[in-house]
Amino acid sequence: MSTYYDQVSDACEFLRGKIVRLPDVAVVLGSGLGELAGRVTNARVVPYTDIPHWPPSGVIGHAGTLVLGDLGGKYVAVLSGRAHYYEGHELGRSTFGIRVLGLLGVKTVILTNAAGGINTSFESGALMVIDDHINLFGTNPLIGPNDERFGPRFPDMTDAYSKRLRALADQVAAARGIGLAHGIYAALHGPSYETPAEIRFLRTIGADAVGMSTAPETIVARHMGVEVLAISCITNMAAGVLDQPLNHAEVMDTAARVKDQFISLIVGTIEML
């Protein structure tokens, strides 16, 4: 019977036959943000379903493909979509792609997501660099026996989101005239949107935005010593901030509206690495 490490190794071995060389950086694309994958040149597209043990993504706005090629003067691995805990995947499975990238030797990952705005100074369409997160999934992807081949039993999360990479993103945004906020991301597993009372609670404990991903991926990446930059697209204001209901169509529409700024920020940051 194969272990989790064996499964990750199988996926790595499969991808070694697909990559030109070790990717300089990996990018994980959130809901509605998949157009960046289309900017990759000399691209090789690998469906997740072709990669051994890799979980599919069944959410609208997630293509479910790994795109390998050139972007921003670097060789990149772009994950167009992710598997979510709320789809029924265990956290070890939903963070499988990060494990594979880390075991391949990727040292830098840019995580992106669509998030709800809690900070009342935000507007729909804002871009926010994540400075830190609050994991409210009620669980952790590192629970269970620790495999030292991945990382230590008790990884430090003091600098979960790289100060160096956050500073690079600020430089790119300033040079390109892109408005860029900073804030704290609250991670809840969903799939229901939060209630207004929950949003008031999250604001009270210091959250600026809320979403259903990213924190588990960051924990796994840092466990493996991978440097992380994470950027949220504030695609809607969270429940109770505005007097209107929430829906996934708004998320997709807003992501499409700000795609050019989002792509410019990500590509510019990759160029600076």
For residues 202-220, average pLDDT: 97
| Of 19, 5, 32, 26, the residue nearest 232 (C-alpha) | 32
Query: Is 186 annotated in the active site?
Result: no
What is the C-alpha to C-alpha distance for residues 206 and 37, in angstroms, rounded to an integer? 33
Least confident stretch, 9-18, 26-35, 71-80: 26-35
pLDDT of residue 160: 98
Q: Does residue 239 carry a pLDDT above 60?
A: no
Would you call 168 helix, strand, or coil by DSSP?
A: helix
Q: 257 or 24, which is more confident?
A: 24
What is the C-alpha to C-alpha distance for residues 113 and 46, in angstroms, rounded to an integer? 21
Q: Considering the entire predicted model, what is its pTM?
A: 0.94
Q: 255 or 55, which is more confident?
A: 55
Query: Is 236 annotated in the active site?
Result: yes
- Packing angle, helices 4-16 and 96-104, rounded to 10: 60
What is the C-alpha to C-alpha distance for residues 167 and 162, in angstroms, rounded to an integer? 9
Query: Is 135 annotated in the active site?
Result: no
What is the C-alpha to C-alpha distance for residues 186 and 136, in angstroms, rounded to an integer? 7
Give me the domain span that covers residue 243: 4-272
pLDDT of residue 252: 72
Query: Is 86 annotated in the active site?
Result: yes
Q: Does residue 257 carry a pLDDT above 90?
A: no
For residues 175-186, average pLDDT: 97
Residues in Cβ contact with 158 at an 8 Å cutoff, skipping those fewer than 6 apart: none
Q: Does residue 243 carry a pLDDT above 60?
A: no
Question: 76-124 pLDDT, tens per residue?
Answer: 999 998 999 999 999 999 999 999 999 999 999 999 998 999 999 998 8
- CA distances, 50 to each of 11, 56, 236 (Å): 10, 10, 34
CATH of the domain at 229: 3.40.50.1580
Query: Is 89 annotated in the active site?
Result: no
| Catalytic residue (choose from 182, 248, 256, 264) | 248
| Catalytic residue (choose from 37, 181, 207, 212) | 212
What total of structural domains would you count in the chain? 1
Query: Is 248 annotated in the active site?
Result: yes
